[in-house]
């Protein structure tokens, strides 16, 4: 087994436009381990959904992976022989990019090859999950179709039984498999899509804004259901959300994106206990918490940058009250936070793209004050 389930290295995604190309994902790297939950958080338009869709080549027709690698474990069960030795014919096959550890570069697969990966290895709960069900097919039949497409040897009646079991597993009466989507409430549609995503027991589940358009009670139930299914099926999960409080509740590790760049990544505990990027600090100010005494929420002034022709500096520089001249010259690389603070360990557990790590305590203290962000609007 490879060290990671998913390994994304220096990924660049572009959308071809009439004018300059747009790069919603610019040099992003991350890993997701077997069985863990990784969260991607950021404002709308930061590139997180584009990154998620690029994993299984679901970008719009004018989008493509311009460069970078998307390594995934588990798509080639026959990459070793019966003795466990690496099969040279597989590893050296130019039509199927695979490493010595068995990981496959999904970015280089053909459309036919990636179709075999979808649902069976990687499943997606789309952002528009409430509209994802086909209105002219019964809900159960749509789950059956996913099973029989990716498990050709499965009998239709067996697939129907599995579909009913899955619906029951997410709290929907198994007899409702014969109903149509318009007969389901919003929360039931969401749970039905979750059931469909688990139909082929994937290795990785991508949940794109899984609680959008749900009230807080149903939202909490859906998150609990996803977590329960994750544990039961031993599936890793990549959650995409603009809501940083969802990350705190569900994720083992997380990454914060802004303007197509990764701004901060690490364990959820380390990011919340020692937030090391001004953008993440601003994002935290914008959401309420039951653990801290907040008289009022503080929003980040300004708007996200255009991705058509971004400035050469830090993507957050025009909205950041802590920017220095260096921030305008080049976007900062990802620094090891513990090392920058003189607490280096063997494993890099927390990184931040910020030139102000040497003054982190002061930045954290000032970021909690509303006047710090209001002053930025006068610059």
Low-confidence ranges of the chain (pLDDT < 70): 1, 76-79, 129-130, 213-214, 288-296, 376-379
- In 3D space, the residue among 9, 235, 245 whose CA is nearest the CA of residue 125 turns out to be 235
Give the start-to-end residue ranges of the domains of the chain.
Answer: 6-255, 274-376
Q: Residue 196: what pLDDT?
A: 92
**87: which residues sit within 8 A by CB, 6+ positions away?**
78, 79, 80, 81
Listed residue (15, 25, 99, 103) closest to 60, CA to CA:
15
Query: 356: exposed, middle or buried (C-beta count within 10 Å: 0-12, 13-18, 19+)?
Result: buried
Q: How far is CA 325 from CA 192, 277, 279, 320, 331, in A?
A: 51, 17, 17, 12, 11
- Roughly what angle, to the nearest 10 degrees, separates helices 156-169 and 139-150? 120
Residue 238 has what pLDDT?
96
Q: What is the pLDDT of residue 377?
A: 54
Quickly count: other Cβ atoms within 10 Å of residue 48's Cβ.
30
DSSP assignment letter at 332: P
DSSP symbol at 359: G
Q: The pTM is what? A: 0.90
Q: What is the pLDDT of residues 236-290, one digit of tens each?
A: 999 999 888 888 889 999 999 999 999 999 999 999 999 999 999 999 987 765 4
Q: State residue 290's pLDDT score.
A: 45
The CA distance from 246 to 238, in Å, is 12
pLDDT tens-digit map of 3-60 = 899 999 999 999 999 888 999 999 999 999 999 999 999 998 899 999 999 999 999 9
- Among 207, 210, 203, 206, residue whose Cα is nearest residue 189: 210
Helix (H, G, I), strand (E, B) or coil at 109: coil
- Report the pLDDT value the prediction gives residue 1, as an integer from 0 to 100: 57
Residue 282, CA distances (Å) to 49, 98, 114, 307, 373 in order = 21, 41, 38, 21, 8
User: For the structural domain made of 6-255, what CATH number should be given?
Assistant: 3.40.50.300
Question: Are residues 38 and 32 in contact, defined by beta-carbon separation less than 8 angstroms?
Answer: yes
């Amino acid at each position: 087994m490879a060290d990671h389930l998913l390994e994304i290295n220096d990924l660049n995604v572009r959308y071809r436009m009439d004018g300059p190309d747009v790069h919603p994902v610019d040099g992003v790297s991350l890993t997701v381990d077997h069985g863990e939950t990784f969260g991607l958080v950021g404002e709308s338009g930061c590139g997180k959904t584009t990154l998620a869709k690029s994993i299984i080549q679901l970008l719009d027709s004018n989008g493509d992976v311009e460069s970078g690698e998307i390594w995934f474990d588990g798509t080639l069960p026959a990459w070793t022989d019966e003795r466990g030795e690496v099969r040279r014919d597989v590893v050296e096959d130019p039509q199927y990019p695979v490493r010595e550890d068995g990981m496959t570069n999904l970015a280089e697969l053909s459309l036919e090859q990636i179709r075999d990966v979808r649902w069976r290895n990687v499943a997606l709960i789309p952002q528009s999950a409430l509209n994802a069900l086909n209105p002219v097919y019964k809900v159960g039949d749509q789950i059956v179709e996913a099973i029989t497409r990716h498990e050709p040897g499965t009998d239709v009646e067996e697939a129907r039984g599995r579909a009913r079991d899955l619906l029951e597993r997410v709290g929907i009466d198994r007899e409702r498999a014969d109903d149509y989507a318009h007969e389901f409430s919003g929360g039931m549609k969401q749970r039905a899509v979750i059931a469909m995503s688990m139909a082929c027991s994937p290795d990785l589940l991508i949940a794109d804004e899984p609680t959008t358009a749900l009230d807080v009670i149903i939202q909490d139930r859906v998150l609990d259901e996803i977590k329960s299914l994750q544990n039961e099926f031993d599936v890793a999960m990549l959650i995409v959300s603009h809501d940083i409080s969802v990350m705190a509740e569900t994720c083992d590790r997380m990454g914060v994106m802004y303007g197509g760049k990764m701004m901060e990544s690490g364990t959820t505990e380390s990011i919340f206990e020692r937030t090391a990027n001004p953008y993440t600090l601003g994002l935290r100010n914008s959401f309420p918490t039951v653990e801290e005494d907040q008289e009022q929420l503080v929003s980040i002034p300004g708007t996200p940058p255009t991705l058509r022709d971004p400035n050469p500096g830090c993507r957050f520089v025009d909205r950041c009250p802590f920017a220095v001249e260096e921030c305008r010259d080049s976007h900062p690389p990802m620094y090891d936070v513990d090392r920058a603070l003189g607490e280096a360990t063997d494993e890099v557990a927390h990184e931040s793209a910020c030139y102000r790590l040497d003054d982190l305590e002061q930045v954290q203290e000032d970021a909690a004050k509303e006047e710090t962000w209001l002053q930025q609007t006068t610059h």
